[in-house]
Structure 1
Amino acid sequence: MVVYRPKTTLEQWRILQAVVDYGGYAQAASALNKSQSSLNHAVSKLQNMLNVQLLEVVGRKAVLTQAGEVMLRRSRDLTLNVQSLEQLAVNINQDWEPEIILCVDLAYPREALFPVLAEFLPMSRGSRIKIIDTVLTGSTEAVTSREADLVILIDTPRGYLGEALCHIEFVLVCHPDHELASLTQPLSTNTLSQYLQIVIKDTSETPDEKTGWLKSEHRWTVSQFDTAIDLLLQKVGFCWLPKHKVTDLIADKNLVHLQVEGSAFKQFTAFLVCPSPEQKGPGTALLSQLFLQHREIDLPSFDSSQNN
């Protein structure tokens, strides 16, 4: 394998940037605490090595050539990437995670997710965030496998603790022109079993059939709630969906809420779980704190004086 050996150095590119940014060799030399002759030599050597003229003197000022503008723009990306790489090394030495894996159940409202991530960004120190959508058993496995740093899921697996973030209601819906909408309400489970149900695919490779929502023998499986909604809008099937996903569609009479015997709706609680709290890094801890600050649930208050 042929190893490429760069002809230029980062220092030469930084000097070129300084000459342009400060408006000339003298000003750049003062800012960098270097001699003007050393800056002239560095830029001259850079141009000779590339066989491209980057600067030309107009009057008493060095200005970029057309080629120089292109090369300078690309050089800024180069030096910025090196700076980010060096900062990443500092973060690693300070135990700041280079990557945080966040698994989020599809039922969790994205309207609650995005503000947290937006607030985290300026404090993230360059840490990458990997967001993985999970459903049902797949959400549980994200915790038990301990491959994720944080998991938002419905209910918590045995042996793990979680912080409640919000309540999520599921409602049964179909198109207003679907036959189910014209039947006497509430509907029995036997009636529902005669119609096509749209279900969301469990992201686990070994799904637990005991989990999930009401199922019909005749069902189609999709991977996203949005796909299920698209099918419903085409008058295909019925589906249990998070209320926040269909509130506007119901209000606009594009979908209808079906009443079911013994279950007008199903309510669940979304929890934030750190699968390996003993290994929680500072980035994960900060992101977890932000989720708790943004949570949309009323926590019970305890008066310690009542125990006295």
Structure 2
Amino acid sequence: MSDIIPLAYWQALIAVVDHNGYAQAAEALGKSQSAVSYAIQRLEDQLGLRLFRLQGRRAVPTHSGQILLQRARVLVEHAQGLDSAGRQLAAGREPLLRVAIDAICPDWLLLAALVQFSKDCQATRVEIQETVLSGTDEALLRREADLVITSRIPQGFSGEPMMQVRFVAVAAPDHPLHALGRPLQWADLRQHRQLVVRDSGTRRESSGWLDAEQRWTFSEPITSIRAACAGLGFAWYAEQRIRDELKDGRLRVLPLQEGRHRYAMLYRVFAQPDFIGPACQELANALDEQIRAAGLGPSSP
């Protein structure tokens, strides 16, 4: 059985290519030039291949060198990830974090928090469950989530207010409701199709104004939003959830004469508040930081 090639040899190969020479690679790796040259020589000897050829004063990878370079990058990246995972597990971070988040929470806010979280918790697998109404409650009651972002707190749990959510009634710019050109009454809405999102739980609860003669129900919030942009009906959405659609004009707020805004509070709930894992706490902190940065705290307008 042939000897396993040390990872340092592959790192030397990558460094010589990326830094255009042995001297530059040695500086980047914090090693002597002779050490880098020795690593490349040993690598070539063990493989029985020429990995570099001279082009002027530059060391240019051969065809074989180019092929192995790509594999070397993957190998070194995986090794670095393994090292990071080991360090994180040694630090006590949990290997799996399950999150249930109410669909009214802005998806861009969640993604920004996950970007921040991923920088320090690369070894933690994250499962995101987007829930609606009683589906969020059930994720807690069935112990299917470690961290829950919800608009209501089930009995037996405690939660911390995170942000206030404002709902607005909207429709596409060319929807007939906008063509009326006046403040709208509730009777005006009743004559048009309302788009709603189905409760993801087993109780199939309803929420909000549901007095329209026609309703189309969707299981995914994003599909409902796209349907509204296509002019298929009006809907109530969390304002921050559709900020891009409002900004670029795909949706417009309906000019209701009264009751044009509804509000809800989003709470952070830990399934086991006495045993909060480090990764769970770090994601919760990342969400808090992103909410503050966006000016969307509990008392924000």
The TM-score by the shorter chain falls in which range? 0.7 to 0.9
Q: Name the CA shift for 1:284/1:42 in 2 (closer, same or farther; >3 Å).
A: same
Secondary structure of 1:229's aligned partner: helix
- Aligned counterpart, 1:297: 297
- Aligned counterpart, 1:280: 276
- Taking the TM superposition and a 5 Å limit, the aligned residue runs for 1:131-170 are 131-170=128-167
Give distance in 2, aligned partners of 1:87 and 1:276: 27
Aligned residues: 285
Q: Name the CA shift for 1:251/1:20 in 2 (closer, same or farther; >3 Å).
A: closer
- TM (normalized to structure 2)? 0.74
Deviations 1:160-215 (A, max 9, x none): 11111111122233456425974984315xx75554321112223x1332x42233
- Please report how far the alpha carbon of residue 287 of structure 1 lies from its aligned counterpart in structure 2 after TM superposition: 1.9
More displaced stretch, 146-155 vs 57-66: 57-66
Give distance in 1, aligned partners of 2:9 and 2:69: 11
Deviations 1:59-111 (A, max 9, x none): 99975322112202311211321232243233223321233233222211234
Point out the structure with max Rg over C-alpha.
Answer: 1
Q: Name the CA shift for 1:38/1:202 in 2 (closer, same or farther; >3 Å).
A: same
The answer as to 2:237 corresponding to 1:241 is yes
Secondary structure of 1:123's aligned partner: coil
Stretches of structure 1 lacking an aligned partner (at least 5 in a row): 300-308
The answer as to 2:106 corresponding to 1:109 is yes
Q: Is the contact between residue 106 and residue 134 of structure 1 (CA under 8 Å) also seen in structure 2? A: yes
Deviations 1:263-284 (A, max 9, x none): 4432100111111223321121
More displaced stretch, 39-48 vs 57-66: 57-66
Q: Name the CA shift for 1:10/1:149 in 2 (closer, same or farther; >3 Å).
A: farther
Structure 1 consecutive aligned stretches of length 4 or more whose deviation exceeds 6 Å: 34-38, 57-62
More displaced stretch, 64-73 vs 16-25: 16-25
- Please report how far the alpha carbon of residue 135 of structure 1 lies from its aligned counterpart in structure 2 after TM superposition: 1.5
- Aligned counterpart, 1:304: none
Give distance in 2, aligned partners of 1:177 and 1:19: 61
- Taking the TM superposition and a 5 Å limit, the aligned residue runs for 1:1-308 are 9-11=4-6, 13-18=7-12, 21=15, 31=31, 39=39, 42-48=42-48, 52-56=49-53, 64-175=61-172, 177-178=175-176, 182=180, 185-188=184-187, 192=189, 195-204=192-201, 206-209=202-205, 211-215=206-210, 216=212, 218-245=214-241, 249=246, 254-257=251-254, 259=256, 263-293=259-289, 294-295=291-292, 296-298=296-298
Secondary structure of 1:31's aligned partner: coil
Q: Name the CA shift for 1:31/1:229 in 2 (closer, same or farther; >3 Å).
A: closer
Give distance in 2, aligned partners of 1:234 and 1:69: 49
Give distance in 1, aligned partners of 2:139 and 2:235: 25
Deviations 1:219-256 (A, max 9, x none): 21123444333333444233222223456649959534
Q: Is the contact between residue 174 and residue 257 of structure 1 (CA under 8 Å) also seen in structure 2? A: yes
Give distance in 1, aligned partners of 2:47 and 2:271: 54
Stretches of structure 2 lacking an aligned partner (at least 5 in a row): none
